[in-house]
Amino acid sequence: MTEAELLEAASNNWSIVISLLTIFISVISGYLVVAYLAGKELNTQQAALVNALYGAFVGFCVYAIYMFSSAAVEQAKLAFELSTQRSMAPSEVIPFVFVSINIPIILASYKFMWDIRHSKA
């Protein structure tokens, strides 16, 4: 592949990552709204189902974000190696940053649901 093709492929992967992040944020927002509005009324089985579906979907999103961002970084690195004009290589840390930010967000949303369902008041 040429440098231009590699950069285009990397750009396409970053577009997918951005789309996945918007879906991730939308799903988390929906989960938090459900937790706030209906969390107390859910029985144990319903809450378990909601939590399992939520966990599976956001887990898939985090995995896909990691894989597509890793592919984008790899393609950008290959383009950098072919380039005679670019002076800054892409950072290989970016996929890990996405994961390290998204995992605590997921855990905090589970904690929010727990607090709503087990409130003292």
Model pLDDT for residues 55-82, shown as the tens digit of each residue: 999 999 999 999 999 999 999 999 888 8
Q: How confident is the model at residue 121 (pLDDT cuts 50, 70, 90)?
A: low
* Domain of residue 75, residue span: 3-117
Neighbour-count burial of 26, counting CB atoms closer than 10 A to its CB (0-12 exposed, 13-18 middle, 19+ buried):
exposed
- The count of structural domains within the chain is 1
Q: What is the pTM of this model?
A: 0.89
Please spell the DSSP secondary structure of 7-42, one letter per residue. Answer: HHHHHHHHHHHHHHHHHHHHHHHHHHHHHHHHTTT-
